[in-house]
């Protein structure tokens, strides 16, 4: 996606880089209950790119803005409910912060993550003298 330029006849131009939209979308998505994480964005994460934009891809064709979001969701939630909430909140956040209208927000659920339980302490499972008997 090329940079978005907003013309202001009185003051000059305002240019919004695509990375700004990626960060807004990433932060908005990560704050939604049921979202465990966003998928790493290609190779750029290993080169030190900030994590907020990962898993977010923006494309503009024929004057339309389309967003692809790749997420891991928490086990036990309603996938359609969370996906719809992501779509609505992303469109709203981008419109409020940049005045750019997002036409499509496509959600790709790439995995479901269960909460990792801590390893049990075996000494707590048995009586104090069990191992000495």
22-76: per-residue pLDDT in tens?
A: 999 999 999 999 999 998 744 344 444 444 457 999 998 888 999 999 999 999 9
Residue 79 maps to which CATH number?
Answer: 3.30.70.1350
CA gap 65, 103 in Å, rounded? 5
Q: Please report which confidence band the pLDDT of residue 6 belongs to, taking 50, 70 and 90 as the band edges.
A: low
Q: Please report which confidence band the pLDDT of residue 7 belongs to, taking 50, 70 and 90 as the band edges.
A: low
Tell me how many domains the chain contains. 1
Q: Please report which confidence band the pLDDT of residue 12 belongs to, taking 50, 70 and 90 as the band edges.
A: confident
Look up the domain containing 79 and give its range. 4-132
CA gap 36, 110 in Å, rounded? 11
Kindly report the CA angle at 44 between 39 and 47, in degrees rounded to 5? 125
pTM comes to 0.73
């Amino acid at each position: 996606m090329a940079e978005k330029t907003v013309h202001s006849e009185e003051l000059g131009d305002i240019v919004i880089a695509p990375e700004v939209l990626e960060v807004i979308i990433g932060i908005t998505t990560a704050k939604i209950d049921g979202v465990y994480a966003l998928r790493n964005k290609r190779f750029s994460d290993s080169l030190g790119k900030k994590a907020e934009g990962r898993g977010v891809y923006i494309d503009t064709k024929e004057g339309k803005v389309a967003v692809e979001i790749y997420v891991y969701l928490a086990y036990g939630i309603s996938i359609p409910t969370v996906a719809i909430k992501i779509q609505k909140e992303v469109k709203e956040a981008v419109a409020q912060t940049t005045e750019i209208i997002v036409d499509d927000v496509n959600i790709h659920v790439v995995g479901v993550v269960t909460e990792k339980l801590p390893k049990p302490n075996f000494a707590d499972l048995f009586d104090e003298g069990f191992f000495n008997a």
